[in-house]
Amino acid sequence: MYKRTKIIATLGPASSDAETISGLIQAGATVFRINFSHGEPEEHKERARLVREEAEKLSANVALLGDLQGPKIRIAGFRKGSAKLVEGAEFALDTKHPADEGDETVVGCSYQSLPADCQPGQTLLLDDGRLQLQIESIDDTRIHTKVIVGGVLYPKKGINLLGGGLSAPALTEKDLKDLDVATDMEIDYLAISFPRTAEDMHYARECAEKAGCKARLIAKIERAETVADDKTLDDIICASDAVMVARGDLGVEIGDAGLIGVQKKIIRRARQLNRSVITATQMMETMIENSIPTRAEVFDVANAVLDGTDAVMLSAETATGKHPITVVEAMSRIALGAEKQRSTQVSGHRMDRQFQETEDAIAMASMYAANHMPHVKAIICLTESGNTPLLMSRIRSGIPIFAMSEHQSTLNRMALFRGVIPRYYDISGNNRNTLLSDAVEQLKGNGFLSKGDIVLGTRGDQVGEGGMTNTLKIFEV
């Protein structure tokens, strides 16, 4: 049984050498995340180069995901390195306070619009919600608060407003500079942090196109506003090529109690709207230090797999953790275990819907036939853009989808799709009338298929043009 759920590994100091990257690919990672919040451009470029180099050695198709920092709103620094906030004490945030002169009574903040975005009675959350401040009053650039939940506060920790409402733009000046770096690296996916609306994603796409970046855009769902109503969420999903359930800041803003229901809803809606979806943040966090996961982490990963997520993402676990390869191996085992459940292999997706596009109808017909015919071993999809395999992968099935293309960018893109196995296939030297049978022979030669296997194949009459899939064939190897 092959693993259908994809694994995203974040690169960092613990995973910057060729041997480790090779080990991560062999352990099951198919997407590598480069976090622009940390590190320098040259470090990012070198890691990207190593990923491409090691993937080529292993004949593996992997994607590079660049994650822009976005408008993460943070406090400034402290004169003594940190400050202890005591419950019930007064504490202020001031946008004009000197950057490194904070103490137990006040700290600076570079986000100049913070006072305008807040109102008395609201709650500010610092350091991922570990400290909580109730706003008492606002005086020009200074926000006066009372400490509700205290603790030690360190420099550069994030600020969230309970319930959302901070108006920071989707892309900062740093993001625009990093976008140029991502373009040079030929990133396959670009994650946009803290978008509030579909307009933020449209703006990000305009900026990417202006920079010459051809990456697919991922909306990181991490603001309360994005999940406040169905229309806003659906609009953001439709404005993106994929979405990420970024549970860190999202959990802080909406509260942990509501997070699991929202996660399930985002996964469900993304699949219904034919978008890929990633589940992220603290999935195997204890494995930063430990060599085995907790039972809670096992259940967390498995539940995301059962819900139908395309990918599960590792952050510090592979970027700075002690066991980067071991954690990917553990996550692969968990995903495989969850995928054995019958619920992951049956689907009622779009059974009551009409189709406007031919490739949509072919994708649905293929998966319906595969799921209802006995002994079907594989689906072979010849593709230019990767769109037909994406549509197929929205339908739950235990049958592998071999998506075959001659375009490396398409193969990389499909490394994120659940249940899809990208394979290079050069159509230039093949007879157009025998493309599917020649593809079968290639897969047979690679050990994926055997004589007598029943397979389904799809292709388009207009070879070389995307969006033209119009043929479904069922045959025996």
281 is catalytic: yes
User: What single DSSP character describes residue 169?
Assistant: -
33 is catalytic: yes
Burial class (CB in 10 A: 0-12, 13-18, 19+), 374: exposed
User: Which among 279, 281, 410, 458 is annotated as catalytic?
Assistant: 281
Contact 185, 48 (CB under 8 A): yes
User: Which among 220, 223, 413, 423 is annotated as catalytic?
Assistant: 220
Contact 428, 406 (CB under 8 A): yes
Question: What residue type is assigned to position 357 of the chain?
Answer: E
User: Which among 3, 6, 33, 47 is annotated as catalytic?
Assistant: 33
User: Within 10 Å of residue 457's Cβ, how many Cβ atoms?
Assistant: 22
User: Within 10 Å of residue 47's Cβ, how many Cβ atoms?
Assistant: 21
Please choose, from the candidates 374, 477, 465, the residue with its C-alpha nearest in 3D space to the C-alpha of residue 427.
465
**Pairing assessment for the beta strands 90-94 and 106-108 based on DSSP bridges:** parallel
Please choose, from the candidates 2, 5, 64, 467, the residue with its C-alpha nearest in 3D space to the C-alpha of residue 277.
5
74 is catalytic: yes
User: Which among 45, 74, 130, 264 is annotated as catalytic?
Assistant: 74
Distance CA 301, CA 123 (A): 31
User: What single DSSP character describes residue 158?
Assistant: B
Could you give phi then psi for residue 297, rounded to 5 degrees? -70, -40
Catalytically active residues are 33, 74, 220, 281
